[in-house]
Amino acid sequence: MPETETTYQLPRIGSPAPAFTATSTHGKISLEDYKDKWFILFSHPADFTPVCTTEFVAFQEVYPELRDYGVELIGLSVDSVSSHLAWIRNIEKNFNKEIEFPVIADLDREVATKYGMIMPGESQTETSRAVFVVDDKQVVRSIIYYPLTTGRNMKEILRLVKALKTTDDKGVPTPANWEPGDKVLVSPPKTVKAMNEREMDPNLECIDWYLCQKELRE
Ligand code: BEZ
């Protein structure tokens, strides 16, 4: 008889974040604990490895700013809690950085499987560098994947969170390389009337009927 395997619907942008309960460096944590909060769940391949160590230092460096934006951080790999604890103590000793966010010990790969963090073509045993941004309604808002050998860019992760929150708060899309303080875009018109009205709007700078930008007013 073939062994039965549970198949999961992998999370996609706009879909509910898969439920989880896991052991972490902060004790048991579950999706429920993050109700009404934004959070970033990120995976790394393995403790005590060079790229991952630089990333952990960098994640800790942006963590205070993420928290200022109301976003929590959770790390994950398939290593044990003891390994995580030894590694974060090692990071503290070598980099003078206390890792303040919880790190999930996903030994049975349950969370990694539900979130699609393992890329079997690259590694059957390690989690890739996945980043899931989940909003306060527990909806997946963005997904980023990096390979084992490339460290992630924390500035981009911060920028992404700021752009998502600006879109939610002000109802505007943001252009390429947008940073807070830059002009924002205006969603394209859906009617002839709306298209014509744009030409009269003194607050818009339009390059063409579908491509208009404006200052973001508080
Ligand atoms: C690293 O973090 O350096 C690493 C981890 C797994 C594979 C390759 C590099």
Tokens encoding 16: 């509910």
Tokens encoding 2: 């073939």
pLDDT tens readout for residues 83-99: 999 999 999 999 999 99
Confirm if 14 and 139 have CB atoms less than 8 A apart: yes
Nearest CA to ligand 1 atom 9: 149
Q: How far apart are CA 133 and CA 143, in angstroms?
A: 6
Question: What amino acid occupies position 39?
Answer: F
H/E stretch holding 77: strand 71-77
Beta bridge partners, 133, equal 40, 142
206 is annotated as an active-site residue: no
Residue tagged active-site, from 17, 40, 51, 52: 52
H/E stretch holding 192: helix 192-200
pLDDT tens readout for residues 14-34: 999 999 999 999 999 999 999
Tokens encoding 68: 């200022």
Q: How far apart are the first and last CA of the chain?
A: 64
Asked whether 52 lines ligand 1 (CB < 6 A), one says: yes
Asked whether 78 lines ligand 1 (CB < 6 A), one says: no
Task: Report pLDDT for 56.
Answer: 98
Between 7 and 32, name the one with better pLDDT.
32
- What is the Å distance from ligand 1's center to 185 Cα? 39
Asked whether 149 lines ligand 1 (CB < 6 A), one says: yes
Q: Which of 125, 203, 152, 145 is nearest to 12 (CA)?
A: 145
What pTM was estimated for this model as a whole? 0.94
Q: Which of 64, 31, 30 is nearest to 134 (CA)?
A: 31
Nearest CA to ligand 1 atom 7: 148
Q: Which of 52, 43, 53 is nearest to 118 (CA)?
A: 43
**For ligand 1, what atom is nearest to the CA of residue 50?**
3
